[in-house]
Amino acid sequence: MRTILVILSALLWNNCLSQEYPSINEIEKSISDSSKNTFYPKLIDRFNNFDSTLTNIDFIFIYYGYGYHENYSGYREDPTTKYFALFNEKKFDEIMRLCDSTLTETPVCISSNLYKGKVLREQHPYSNDFKKYYERSFKLMDVLLNSGDGKSMETAYRVLFLNDEKRVMYGKLELSGYSQQALIKHYDMLTVKKSKKYKKKQIFFDVYLPLFGLSRQLKNETKSNTK
């Protein structure tokens, strides 16, 4: 019975995410309006408190809305490899320290939520705390993986961090890498070898938010240098 419920939940989640995502402009407008439930401080507070009433659309606003946070950088180093190595060495306390530090600044970090859940499961297997972090990580990952199909600019995967591209290519689509890369407007076009899960020669990613964040960072640095 539990398996059936999990499957139904996944189907409902994917059905919702298969619908058209709010545009970047719609997200920016909605998370900036303090009169709305989508106001980002409200959403991230509910997220940090594991509010079970958050909807699938809320998670879309939470993930991509972080692109307008003052500390956002789309070029941040992804900690997954570091967590993986530490986990194999059973350095759980160090992982927890790194996860907590990262989540304080970047609560939508997929790998930090995942590995905090993994460590909590190792240290407290009879507690339900680890499930909260697992669920958060999976829902954020689903937002990314269901944001497009990568077959055209119109259906490009929308990334928050550049490392999101690797999550899609190597995790979901099982691609072995890419041979060429081109930036077209705010779309990253990669030439790839086909896999069983992806039959096209090119894959597209919408990198508007990483470019927007970089532009804002450079402007702020220029202002600081001219003072």
Average pLDDT estimate for 76-99: 96
Q: Residue range 33-50: average pLDDT?
A: 96
User: Does the structure show a pLDDT above 60 at 1?
Assistant: no
pLDDT, residue 224, reads 62
Strands 187-192 and 178-184: antiparallel
Chain-centroid distance of CA 52 in Å reads: 19
Residue type, 172: K
**Beta strand 202-206 pairing with 157-158:** parallel
Q: Residues 111-150: pLDDT tens digits?
A: 999 999 999 999 998 888 999 999 999 999 999 999 999 9
Q: What percent of the chain has pLDDT over 70?
A: 89
Look at residue 14 in the predicted model and tell me its pLDDT.
Answer: 42
50 Rama class: left (phi>0) / alpha (psi -120 to 50) / beta: left
**Segments making up each domain of the chain, as ranges:** 2-145, 157-226
Residue 151 confidence (pLDDT) above 80? yes
| pTM confidence score | 0.87
- 89-103 pLDDT per residue, tens: 999 999 999 999 999
Mean pLDDT throughout 177-203? 94
pLDDT of residue 41: 96
Residue 30 neighbours by CB under 8 Å, 6+ apart:
22, 36, 38, 39, 61
| Least reliable range by pLDDT among 49-53, 125-129, 220-224 | 220-224
DSSP 23: P
